[in-house]
Amino acid sequence: MRNLIYLLLMGLFCLTTVSCGPKVQTLVDQGNYDETIQVAKRKLVGERNKSPKYVAALETAFNKANDEDLTRARRIETSGNPDWKQIHSYYRSIRNRADEVRPLTPLIDKDGHQAVLRFVEVNSQLNDAAGKAAEQMYLEGERLLELGRQGDKAAAREAYETFEGIAYYRQGYKGANLYMTEAEELGMLYITVEMRNESGAYLPAGFEEALFRINAVNMEDRWRKFETTRKPDRQYDYVARIIMRNIDVSPERSSERQYTDEKEITDGTEYVLDENGNVAKDSLGNDITQPKEVIVRADVIEVLQTKVASVTAGFELYDVRNRRIVDQGELTAQANFENYASTFQGDRRALSSASARNIGNRPVEFPSNEQLILDAAEVLKDVLSEQIATSYKLI
């Protein structure tokens, strides 16, 4: 038991200290300098008698990390095609690292050794790199935007993101926001719908409107706009086509069913007779009675009215620019009319709960073919919405 308690305490100690994780010197040896700084800083902040191990580790890691970032930045600067965003990131790391460590200075361990921390002033280099990164991105954005003007929507979207990123380095640089607006419009994908009736059947008025009454909000994202109503001045990129293949309405059917419900119930009381056929008496001379059980019956006449409209359609997601079908499928939907009418003769108490629910219903007028087809369009609308949402993944 004592050994178990000891092990549990040691486990808890490992969870609450850094010592059970990677050794700080191991982090230094592996070149994980910024992680070393974070580990050492946690051990040194607030300590009066600072550990020589952690002071030395932070000193080494800080100076080596700065040397490496400076070397990398200068190597890229002197290359033939410098990436100023990358150069800026190195100088920014140097400045952020200094901000992390400076509150600890002067950093003196408990043996009296003061860490020599070589702070590097990079504000001018950082500002210069930011300006050149902004210009580099601006020129790249212009190049991509020109491709967008020639119809390359992917390039236009990339141009938007490039111009948007300039603000990280320079706010309001050369009116990049205006270019962003143009790139956004050029990069937008517009999708609409159209329907063709190849079924040979008559479509009632309002069928197309019911089918296209789609909640477009769920189908739109940053770069895709879905419009069910075509705009004459809009150049659409994709068309979701619905080709009506078959429309069928079943005959009006009325089927009759007759059955009998039967139940044993308690209906009042009756006298108990003795073996001589006389009313039996209890010990006080009173007549003895018992519940009267009787069988009751009800004859049920049930009429079921049914009528079904079925629609079948093909689906195509058509790429207008490249003149090709991106996705296709089959859509089916049904609208069912059902009505139960039920009457009975006999004792109501005999009715089952299922029979009783329909008693009193009367036959109703069947819906017209047109109305049932419109109901099927409402069902098909939801199927179509799911199909479009799935096909969007291919755009």
Instruction: State CA 120 to chain mean position distance.
Output: 47
For residue 192, tell me if it sits in a domain.
Answer: no
- Looking at the structure, do residues 349 and 326 belong to the same domain, yes or no? yes
Please give the single-letter amino acid code of residue 391: S
- Looking at the structure, do residues 166 and 85 belong to the same domain, yes or no? no
Give the domain extent around 182: 129-187
- Looking at the structure, do residues 252 and 384 belong to the same domain, yes or no? yes
Q: Where are the alpha helices (DSSP H) in the chain?
A: 2-16, 24-29, 33-44, 52-77, 84-101, 123-149, 153-166, 176-187, 207-211, 353-358, 369-391
Looking at the 3D structure of the chain, how many domains does it have? 3
Which of 121, 144, 165 is a domain's end point? Answer: 121
- Looking at the structure, do residues 295 and 312 belong to the same domain, yes or no? yes
Q: Please give the pLDDT value at position 20.
A: 47
- pLDDT tens for the chain, 395 residues long, are 545 444 454 445 444 444 444 699 999 999 999 999 999 999 999 999 999 999 999 999 999 999 999 999 999 999 988 999 999 999 999 999 999 999 999 999 999 999 999 999 999 999 999 999 999 999 999 999 999 999 999 999 999 999 999 999 999 999 899 999 999 999 999 999 999 999 998 899 999 999 998 877 667 788 999 988 899 999 999 999 999 999 999 999 999 999 999 988 888 888 888 888 888 888 888 888 888 888 999 999 999 999 999 999 999 999 999 999 999 999 999 999 999 889 999 999 998 888 888 888 888 999 999 999 999 999 999 999 989 888 887 88
For residue 375, tell me if it sits in a domain.
Answer: yes
CA-based angle 81:87:92, to the nearest 5?
170
- Looking at the structure, do residues 74 and 159 belong to the same domain, yes or no? no
Q: Are strands 289-319 and 238-249 parallel, antiparallel or unpaired?
A: antiparallel
Per DSSP, 322 falls in state T
For residue 286, tell me if it sits in a domain.
Answer: yes
The answer to whether the CB of 272 falls within 8 A of the CB of 279 is yes
Q: Please give the pLDDT value at position 14.
A: 46
Q: Please give the pLDDT value at position 117.
A: 96
- Looking at the structure, do residues 257 and 353 belong to the same domain, yes or no? yes
- Looking at the structure, do residues 331 and 347 belong to the same domain, yes or no? yes
- Looking at the structure, do residues 103 and 151 belong to the same domain, yes or no? no
Radius of gyration of the chain (CA): 42
Residues in contact with 345: Cβ distance below 8 Å, sequence separation at least 6, in sequence order: 298, 299, 301
Give the residue among 57, 13, 22 at the shortest CA–CA distance from 37: 57
Per DSSP, 286 falls in state P
Residue 394 tokens, joined: 């291919």
For residue 385, tell me if it sits in a domain.
Answer: yes
The answer to whether the CB of 290 falls within 8 A of the CB of 269 is yes
Which of 84, 102, 121 is a domain's end point? Answer: 121
- Looking at the structure, do residues 97 and 156 belong to the same domain, yes or no? no
For residue 222, tell me if it sits in a domain.
Answer: no
For residue 3, tell me if it sits in a domain.
Answer: no
- Looking at the structure, do residues 266 and 369 belong to the same domain, yes or no? yes
Residue 129 tokens, joined: 């790199």
For residue 209, tell me if it sits in a domain.
Answer: no
Length of the chain equals: 395
Q: Please give the pLDDT value at position 21.
A: 47
- Looking at the structure, do residues 360 and 262 belong to the same domain, yes or no? yes
By three-state DSSP, how is residue 34 classified? helix
- Looking at the structure, do residues 179 and 80 belong to the same domain, yes or no? no
Which of 99, 121, 143 is a domain's end point? Answer: 121
Other C-beta atoms lying within 10 Å of the C-beta of residue 95: 16
For residue 148, tell me if it sits in a domain.
Answer: yes
